[in-house]
Structure 1
Amino acid sequence: MIRFAVLVILAITTSASAQEAVTDTNGATLRALDKLSGKVTDMQLSNGEHQALGRIDVELDDCRYPEDDPAGDAYAFVTIRETGKPDPIFRGWMVASAPALNAMDHPRYDVWVMRCRTS
């Protein structure tokens, strides 16, 4: 399932970049949901920055948006680790307009990209 989702994301990213130019940004807004408490948290992250949220650590590696439509979509490469586990529980591209396309699979937390920073 994960390999399929990664292939789909790569196909979308590749076809998007072939059809429209994208702009790299220096940060993004990510939203996280703690399914146990129902608490929603918005995180403002710069590229390379990470933020702890409960038992997970969210790191933003890159965020891009269509050059001619900054509000149109956001593509963020995110790495998420769980406390005490060496391997990431998620590492890949998230697409704001299709959050379920490459969603993090975790029993307690959901994380998705909202938008790239445009200024």
Structure 2
Amino acid sequence: MKKLFVAGAFLIGGGIVSVPAQAEMNSYGVAVLQGLNKVTARVSEFEVPLNQPVLFGSLEITAQSCRKNPPEEAPEATSFLEISDVGSDGERKPMFSGWMFASSPAISALEHPVYDVWVLDCRPATNP
């Protein structure tokens, strides 16, 4: 018996409903983040190249991946971040590890008493 596979269409209640295919997200070499120091109320935008730790206050932020929808899709940027709080003695305390989404920063947020960090965009890495 042959199985019939129709890409992007489903049989529901006797009728066929087509579902548009989503394009894959494009990978980029730099995550563009924004950070808030809750004590000073200062907001900073900064770039984090993939796999290169960047300091924001006492936070060490490493972006493992940064992806963004192609221009013809709904705007969305997402980055897999690892964030640690570095103490004055150099000890790193893991604070966050996971995906952050530009369109919904509250879904997966850093919980820190002094800092907020969220994803704005992804950019290509520049060659030196």
TM-score, with structure 1 as normaliser: 0.76
Whether 1:90 aligns to 2:96 is yes
Alignment match, 2:13 = none
| Counterpart contact for 1:70–1:118, Cα < 8 Å | no
C-alpha distance in 2, partners of 1:117/1:90?
A: 22
Alignment match, 1:31 = 34
| Counterpart contact for 2:58–2:85, Cα < 8 Å | yes
C-alpha distance in 2, partners of 1:70/1:43?
A: 25
Instruction: Mark the runs of 5 or more structure 1 residues left unpaired by the alignment.
Output: 1-17
Paired residues, number? 102
Which structure features the higher share of strand residues?
2
Alignment match, 2:115 = 109
Q: Which residue type is aligned with residue 98 of structure 1?
A: S
Q: Which residue type is aligned with residue 106 of structure 2?
A: A
Identity over aligned residues, as a percent? 33
C-alpha distance in 2, partners of 1:112/1:66?
A: 17
Alignment match, 2:105 = 99
* Residue 70 of structure 1: how far off its partner (Å): 7.5
Which structure features the higher share of helix residues?
1
* Residue 36 of structure 1: how far off its partner (Å): 0.5
Is the partner of 1:64 in helix, strand or coil?
strand
Is the partner of 2:112 in helix, strand or coil?
coil
C-alpha distance in 1, partners of 2:92/2:55?
A: 15
Alignment match, 1:46 = 49
C-alpha distance in 2, partners of 1:72/1:118?
A: 16
Superposed CA RMSD: 2.0
C-alpha distance in 2, partners of 1:72/1:109?
A: 26
C-alpha distance in 1, partners of 2:120/2:93?
A: 25
| Counterpart contact for 1:35–1:110, Cα < 8 Å | yes
Alignment match, 1:10 = none
* Residue 86 of structure 1: how far off its partner (Å): 3.7
* Residue 71 of structure 1: how far off its partner (Å): 7.7
